[in-house]
Amino acid sequence: MSNLMVAMTMFMETFKHYAGADGDKEKLSKAEVKTLLEKEFNFECPKNPDEVDKLMKGLDLNGDSQIDFREFMVIVVALTCACKGY
């Protein structure tokens, strides 16, 4: 398997690992996003609930108050670009 296919598989498995803790295995809830960011990105989520809500609104492209796999991938690409200077 190519490196890109391995990476894609890892993205899918990571999403699946965190999605569903709150019921819906196809989407991440606000709590699941917070856990994912804390554990996978070593990103300390703000303690203020308003800040977490702002973050979710920015990530939730379709406005359903959850993060689907496509929105998750936008997060991954945006963080990659930001961290690597692209």
Element (H, E) at 65: none
Note whether residue 15 is domain-resident.
no
The phi, psi pair for 21, rounded to 5°, reads -60, -30
Note whether residue 19 is domain-resident.
no
Report pTM.
Answer: 0.80
Note whether residue 25 is domain-resident.
no
Asked whether the predicted pLDDT for residue 50 surpasses 90, the reply is no
Note whether residue 68 is domain-resident.
yes
**67, 73 in Cβ contact below 8 A?**
no
3-class DSSP assignment, residue 22:
coil
Residue 59's domain is classified under what CATH number?
1.10.238.10
Q: Which domain holds residue 82?
A: 30-86
Note whether residue 60 is domain-resident.
yes
Note whether residue 59 is domain-resident.
yes
Structurally, the chain folds into a number of domains equal to 1
- Rounded Cα distance between 47 and 27, Å, is 23
Summarize pLDDT for 55-76 with one digit per residue, the tens.
778 888 899 989 999 999 988 8
Average pLDDT for the chain: 85
Percentage of the chain exceeding pLDDT 90: 36
Note whether residue 17 is domain-resident.
no
- Rounded Cα distance between 83 and 13, Å, is 22
